[in-house]
Amino acid sequence: MNVRSLTELHTVNSFAALPAAFYTRLAAQGLNNPRLLHANADAAALIGLDASALSTPEFLDVFSGRQPLPGGDTLAAVYSGHQFGVWAGQLGDGRAHLLGEVQGPEGAWELQLKGSGMTPYSRMGDGRAVLRSSVREYLASEAMHGLGVPTTRALALVVSDDPVMRETVETAAIVTRMSPSFVRFGSFEHWSSRRQPELLKALADYVIDRYYPECRDAADGESSSDTAPYVNLLRMVTRRTALLMADWQAVGFCHGVMNTDNMSILGLTLDYGPYGFMDGFRLGHVCNHSDSEGRYSWNRQPSVALWNLYRLGGSLHMLVQDADALRAVLDEFEAIFTRAFHDKMAAKLGLMAWTPDDEPLLDDLLKLMDANQADFTLTWRRLADALQGRRSAFEDLFIDRAAAAAWLDRLLARHVQDGRPALEAATAMNRVNPLYVLRNHLAEQAIKAAKMGDASEIDTLMRLLRDPYEAQDGFERYAGLPPDWASGIEVSCSS
């Protein structure tokens, strides 16, 4: 049974047990006259907290930053990283406070406030987050979870009238993020760049013992060594990151800021800023208005992830002198990603299994979508309709209908080879091709309502995005093409 009070939570605070060099202990800077805009009962259950606790004054006090988490150990973590491919040096939690770690029914979760005030790592920042970006992050993590993509979670969204200066004056908000760990690639880069192998080893041992204990097991036929666990750690992170990239590509998600300090050591989607789910498809789609060179475009995400993994591998080289062993692990990325991506694409196309002959079929579809800027989500979703004879639903998404029809004929011929009944294939396709995604215009509508103190749009989106594959009567506009004004929405690093 879930507990009804924060004082009853079982806190463990494992990260806070690391040496003091890893963080600064300091209190969060709470919001003035805070209001709970929304709380997530599903996320609360992960830490063993009953939904009834979400409406208590105690809950608001803690997650507005005005009081510490009972049993917690509030701190801001230090890390470094590469930003847009350039070494940025020391970074850290510049506007975030880790409240503590709570043992839930099926595992431990760290609770972190984002937008909770300045820390020693704020650099030139004010330590705050605005309502606009907080609503986007709150919704995005839950949308990704609904899609089955590994992600941090969101527990609460607290707002106030405190002014925050961005391009204009906005109002402050705090989103509570949950993750088994917030350790990043940049956490390792920090200690390697400072030539402090003892602290790098302490971090690596912590991550292995806490999250990857299997890394200490020698594989059959292999002898154990002092450095083998760190090679295995890189192997585990490489695998998880490759699988995450396949997930992102399959749902048309662009992260926007794939800096090494935004890459999770657990292979989770971390730090939602100027992200975007594609509407009209472009192979080189860039969702971040600040990314003028397109470094983090959709088609570059897997290669950037590998580049980031090389930075992690370079950091671990301080512990593993055998560079060839680390390089061999990194060389596994492409095969893992490609296999996972092809498996996902086969499922999205309704095929029973991927074959090498399917490569041109997929490539030509992506080129066709790119040339016509066909809607990413609806293109895949309407393939199930086309498979059952309703071709126009699919073809209507393309300016060049003749080319779309010709490609569709090829897919239908491929299905004949599969021998799978059309209804069975269509049903399977609708289980992997979502109907609802967090499009920018839907998030924008939720933000506009939230500015008026209305959380109804957030509530609706949370409900739809928890099960994005099942059509809900009365919510057709959430599954339709974006309105014309949506093309003018821009998100940037300030988002």
Rounded (10°) CA dihedral 448, 454, 460, 462: 80
Structure tokens, 309 = 């993994």
**Distance of alpha carbon 118 from alpha carbon 95, whole angstroms:** 6
**Distance of alpha carbon 283 from alpha carbon 285, whole angstroms:** 6
Q: Where are the beta strands (DSSP E) in 80-145?
A: 80-83, 86-90, 96-104, 107-114, 129-130
Angle at which helices 301-316 and 185-193 cross, to 10°: 40
**Distance of alpha carbon 326 from alpha carbon 192, whole angstroms:** 15
Q: Which residue among 73, 261, 279, 375 is the active-site one?
A: 261
Which residues are CB-contacts of 259 (< 8 A; sequence separation ≥ 6)?
81, 82, 83, 84, 88, 186
**Distance of alpha carbon 43 from alpha carbon 146, whole angstroms:** 12
**Distance of alpha carbon 174 from alpha carbon 128, whole angstroms:** 8
Structure tokens, 487 = 């093309």
Containing 286, the helix (H) or strand (E) segment is: none
**Could you write out the DSSP letters of every residue in 320-348?**
---HHHHHHHHTTHHHHHHHHHHHHHHHH
φ, ψ for residue 110, nearest 5 deg: -85, 140
Query: Active-site residue 261, yes or no?
Result: yes
**Distance of alpha carbon 441 from alpha carbon 480, whole angstroms:** 11
* Under 8 Å between Cβ of 259 and 238: no
φ, ψ for residue 77, nearest 5 deg: -90, 150
Neighbours of 15 (CB within 10 A): 21
**Could you write out the DSSP letters of every residue in 429-457?**
HHTTS-S----HHHHHHHHHHHHTT--HH
* Under 8 Å between Cβ of 126 and 114: no
Q: Provide the annotated active-site residues.
A: 261
